[in-house]
Amino acid sequence: EGYLFPDTYFFLPGQDPLLIIETLESNFKRKISDPKVAAAIAAYGKPLSDIVVMASLLEKEASDTESRRRIAGILWRRISINMPLQVDAVFPYIIGKNSLQLTRTDLKTESPYNTYIHKGLPPGPITNPGIDSIVAAVTPIKSNYIFYLSDLDGNFHYSVTYAQQLANQNKYLR
C-alpha cells in the first residue's frame, strides 16, 4: 500500500494481476520523478517511506491542498514534540469506522496503526496517496497550531491550545 498510484487505468479483463501492480507502481515512480515533485521531496529531507505514510494520512484527512498542507505542518510538528498524531483517518483502516462513529473505546484499539496510543507515524501507509497529498507532505504550512478538527460540513478549525480545541469541539461538533 501507498505505492500503487491512484489514477485511471485501462486493463483488459483477465489481465495478469502482477502486470496491474507493476503498472500502478511504475506510475507512482513516474509521478514522483517529475522534476518539481522530486526536488520538493529531496529538499524536505525525510525518507520517502515517511513521506508516503504522511501523505496517506493527509489523503484521508483532507480533500484540498491548503488543508492538507496545514495539517501536514501540524502533524510533523506533533512528531517533533513527541506528541501522538491522534489522526482519526486511521480507524477506517484499523476497524472500519469513520470519525463520526468512533467511541472512546475505539480510540484505545490495539494496533500499530493507532495514532492515539502510538507516537510517530504508523508503520505503513493507510491508503495510496495522490500527488497532491505527496506534495503537501513535503510542503507543510508552518504555524503555531497544534490541534485541528473537521466540522460536520467538512470545514477545518485550528487551535493553538487544548482549551481552544475543546471550545472548537463544543462549538462545531455538538
* Chain segment 87-129, per-residue pLDDT in tens: 999 999 999 888 778 888 989 999 999 999 999 999 999 999 9
In whole angstroms, what is the distance from residue 112 CA to residue 123 CA? 7
pLDDT at site 134: 98
Give the count of alpha carbons within 13 A of 171, CB side only.
13
Low-confidence ranges of the chain (pLDDT < 50): none
Instruction: Tell me if 29 sits within 8 A of 5, measured CB to CB.
Output: no
Prediction pTM value = 0.93
Q: What does the alpha-carbon distance between residue 40 and residue 35 come to, in Å, rounded to a whole number?
A: 9
